[in-house]
Amino acid sequence: MATVEKTKSVEKQKSDVVLNYFRPRKKLPSVWCAGCGNGIVMSALIRAIDKLGYSKDEVAMVSGIGCTSRMPIYLDFSALHTTHGRALAFATGIKFAKPHMKVIVITGDGDCLAIGGNHFIHACRRNIDITAILINNHIYGMTGGQGSPTTPSGSISTTTPYGNVEKNFDPCKLAEAAGASFVARGTVYHTPQLEKAITKALDHNGFSLVEVISNCHTYYGRLNRRGDAVSMLNAFKENSVTTAKAKKLSPEEMEGKFLIGTLHEDDRTEFCDEYQKVVDAHMGEK
């Protein structure tokens, strides 16, 4: 495992570090709306990768379909932009074929938890060393604001015009229950903490999930009268509670709030490591 090189961080935490990781010859701007949280997550991810000192060649970035899933195309890593919900399946193939690679999946709430829900729980169960960054904006953005598995009950979307009657997933609880060995939550407001969470996730050997609460002011915000990007980010600030602070709060005080920080960490054995033991034990047998 690469270790965090703290000496590098101050010098490189400027925006030029981010620019160093854009894919050559790729025309920008991105498909993302002005003020979208995806750019913030991308910056935090790049800074984490830079801090860990990964070479560009050892990183593979895999995505499915949705706004978030365009991220690998903009960055100078091996990129697999796959089918809707299936990123973790493809990523499993890359990681298992080349276990020394750092495999990062960029996904959204619809991609990961609806159509990709089965792949998600099984990647957690295997505890394969993939880092999934789930940008949760509570809605399908790319296709114009339809309800997702994290759309809160009662919220408006173009497919829940009278308010969502369904319950929503908590992806972190889901991941932990399914066996992921590192689970953290951040927001696009808390960027230094987000960068730290992603760094820890990348450095963890096993399946790691970082859920990032993000804003889709274009659809979720507008349909639910949450205002512009700035108002939504401010709401993330007000409604989030760190795991340390939460210990001091009563259930009443936690009402309507959500936790941020490392939510779960264990040292269960990793899938590729375990398979390698099988290979070592049976290599050369007839």
Partner 1 sequence: MVDTQRTLLLGNLAAVEGAIYAGMRFYAGYPITPSTEVAEGCSRELPKIGGRFIQMEDEISSIGAVVGASVSGMKAMTATSGPGFSLMQENIGYAYITETPCVVINVQRGGPSTGLPTKVSQSDTMQARWGPHGDYTAIVVAPSTVGDTVTETIRAFNLSERFRTPVVILMDEIIGHQRELISLPKPGEHQVINRVKATVPPEEFQPFRLTANGVSPMAAYGEGYRTISTGLTHDPMGFTTNEPKEIKVKLDKLRNKIMDFRSEITKLRVEMMDDAEIAFVSYGSVSRAVLLAVALARSAGVKVGLVQLYTVWPFPDNKLRDYCQKCQKIIVPELNMGQIVHEIRRVMPPDTEIHSLQRYDGEILTPMQILEKLEEVM
Q: Which residues bind partner 1 (CB under 8 A)?
A: 23-27, 56-58, 60, 62, 72-73, 76-83, 86, 88-98, 100-101, 118-119, 122, 275, 278-279, 281-286
Which of 244/283 has CB closer to partner 1?
283
269, β-bridge pairs: none
Neighbours of 12 (CB within 10 A): 15
Number of C-beta neighbours around residue 283 at 10 A: 7
User: Which is nearer to partner 1, 60 or 216 (by Cβ)?
Assistant: 60
- φ, ψ at 131 (rounded to 5°): -105, 120
In the bound state with partner 1, the residue whose beta carbon lies nearer, of 31 and 254, is 31
DSSP string, 57-95: GGEEEEE-SSSGGGHHHHBSSEEEE-STT-HHHHHHHHH
Nearest distance in Å: CB 271, partner 1: 8
CB of 63 to partner 1, least distance (A): 9
Report residue 22 CA to chain centroid gap.
19
CB of 275 to partner 1, least distance (A): 7
Helix/strand/coil for 133? strand
For partner 1, the closer of residues 173 and 277 by Cβ is 277
What is the smallest separation between the CB atom of 121 and partner 1, expressed in angstroms? Answer: 8
